Amino acid sequence: MHKNLILGTTIAGAIIAYALKPKKPKTELEAKGVPIPTTPTYLPLQIDGVLHYILSVLAGRDELEFLRAISTEMGNTINLRGFNQDFIIVLDPSSIQHILAKNQPNYEKGPEFQAIFHEFLGSGIFNADGEAWKTQRQLARPHFQTSEFRDAALINRHVDQLIKVIDNHISKSPDAPLDVQELFCRFTLDEASEFLFGETVNALELGNTEFSTAFNYAQSITAWRFRVPLWRYVVPTKQFLREIKKLDTFVYKIIDNAIARQEKRVMEQEQQPGDGKHEMKEGYDTLLDHFLSQRSEHGFDREYLRHMLLNFLLAGRDTTASLLSWTTWKLTQYPDVLAKLKQEIAEVIGPDTVPGYDDIKKLKYQKQVINEVLRLCPPVPFNMRQSVEEDLLPNGYYIPPGTPVSYSAYTTHRLPELWGEDALEFNPDRWGPERVGSIKPFMFVPFHAGPRICLGQNLAYTTAQVTLTRLLQRYDIQAKPGFEPQQVGDIVLFSRNGVEVLIRKKSISKF
């Protein structure tokens, strides 16, 4: 994206904002509240602050550490004001609890958030508010509650394919590094698409498919829409819409096939009356089948189903890939943790036993490791809401109506006043019985919290634990000498340059 275009757009946005911003007298609640500290700027309409942020992102600066540095200087409630518009960040657990739980109806995704995601996600659960969100969540919840991945069969099928890809890499290039981030994105795309659609994308086998490439492009453009003022006129649209059309072609074909199967099944049941129940292959129903079973009652059309499926795919695919990628990296940096984890797997699961759902629940230390990765590398590092009406936070700070209010799990998870002087250190023992009691509600929000807490968090834990167990049973992993991942805080926390590791097969005797 050209820097002069960014500069011109920013200045134009500042002029428009200044001209249109209404001046209002203080309300009674505002008079009672405390003004939120605002980041210092030196030019009218905070143009210098806005430009500094955008150009630093374009230059590859770490946005998340940028925010953490500001919070260290200014405290845990900050107003990143620009163009005379408030953009509030809250980091303390009491404020996060207020926004996500205690006064949750007052903090919606909001019209601007929905406009940014509209072409990509439509009115699906990730992008919905109010009754639309409630209905979708109520309909989806039973499927996530009952699909405990019995015997983790679906996950293990895709791990089998993952192992084939890794073995092929080792046989062809045994000393070459492997980008596990790219590999885990393909793996979780296959797993999530089968879980949701009943049909896998086959990204592990085929590489970067048209669907996966379009999906990645749509996410990238959507992330820039959040960053750039007047994004409707600056961020590319034509190519974006072409990629969205590719997603639609793929998803609508799956929906139409599923509808045809359902209609055929209903016809067969009418001809041979029974109890009305049916079984999918291996006794497993997909989320799509779950929604289709309620289509006549709720009037779902093809577009509604498309929105739902892509929303859950975004939520489930990249977040789990991020978790697996950062877990792998952390284990290469902490060989003592890796050795302890391998020992637990050897004692609890065995050297080559394929773990089931009940097996991985016995891996207590592994769960501690994953929680510590989620603390330092939360898959969704930053989340945004918008106030409906004016409000006061528990700490007395005033929130105007219609104002973006965000929280950053990445920064909150690193606050020394919450996590101790070793807050920046990777230490799975903080989740052990001696320390876990000090972790209070809303200190740890990798899956959000309150009514909108992630429906798929159990799926994420299960996938990560099954996959990690089987990979450590089979392989030795080491860091690539001189490699350092460059985290980027887009919609999901990934590394800009991948996560490259050295991976080799191990002998059973070494386990």
Higher pLDDT, 115 or 298: 115
Rounded to an integer, the average pLDDT of 17-40 is 79
Contact status, residue 244 vs residue 222, Cβ threshold 8 Å: no
CA gap 234, 1 in Å, rounded: 9
Rounded to an integer, the average pLDDT of 423-445 is 95
Residue 151 pLDDT > 60, yes or no?
Answer: no
Residue 469 pLDDT > 70, yes or no?
Answer: yes
User: Which residues contribute to the annotated binding site for heme?
Assistant: 454
Rounded to an integer, the average pLDDT of 138-154 is 71
User: Phi and psi at residue 478, in whole multiples of 5°?
Assistant: -140, 160
Write down the mean pLDDT value for the chain: 86
User: Phi and psi at residue 349, in whole multiples of 5°?
Assistant: -105, -45
User: Which residues contribute to the annotated binding site?
Assistant: 454
Please tell me what DSSP assigns to residue 403.
-
Structure tokens belonging to residue 312: 């859950």
Residue 273 pLDDT > 50, yes or no?
Answer: yes
Residue 279 pLDDT > 60, yes or no?
Answer: no
Residue 153 pLDDT > 70, yes or no?
Answer: yes
Query: What is the structure's pLDDT at 282?
Result: 42
Q: How far is C-alpha 508 from the geometric centre of its chain's CA atoms?
A: 36
CA gap 125, 309 in Å, rounded: 10
Higher pLDDT, 218 or 14: 218
Rounded to an integer, the average pLDDT of 465-486 is 96
Q: Tell me the domains of the chain and their CATH numbers.
A: 138-393+425-510 (1.10.630.10)
Each residue of 83-113: b (16+ CB within 10 Å) or e?
bebbbbbbbbbbbbbbbbeebbebbbbbeeb
Structure tokens belonging to residue 13: 């946005």
Q: Which of 223, 213, 208 is nearest to 244 (CA)?
A: 213
Residue 172 pLDDT > 60, yes or no?
Answer: yes
Contact status, residue 100 vs residue 448, Cβ threshold 8 Å: yes
CA gap 314, 495 in Å, rounded: 17
User: Taking every pair of C-alpha atoms in the chain, what is the biggest distance, in angstroms?
Assistant: 77
Q: Where are the alpha helices (DSSP H) in 21-152?
A: 28-32, 47-58, 63-74, 93-97, 110-121, 130-146
Residue 283 pLDDT > 50, yes or no?
Answer: no
Q: Which of 397, 415, 378, 402 is nearest to 492 (CA)?
A: 378
Q: Tens of pLDDT along 200-238? A: 888 898 887 788 888 888 888 888 787 776 677 778 888
Q: How far is C-alpha 96 from the geometric centre of its chain's CA atoms?
A: 18
CA gap 423, 298 in Å, rounded: 48
Query: What is the structure's pLDDT at 7?
Result: 55
CA gap 257, 115 in Å, rounded: 30
Angle 135-138-143 from CA coordinates, rounded to 5°: 135
Query: What is the structure's pLDDT at 280?
Result: 40
Q: Tens of pLDDT along 40-76? A: 877 777 777 777 777 776 767 788 888 898 899 999 9
- Whole-prediction pTM: 0.88
Query: What is the structure's pLDDT at 175?
Result: 92
CA gap 184, 463 in Å, rounded: 11
Query: What is the structure's pLDDT at 276?
Result: 46
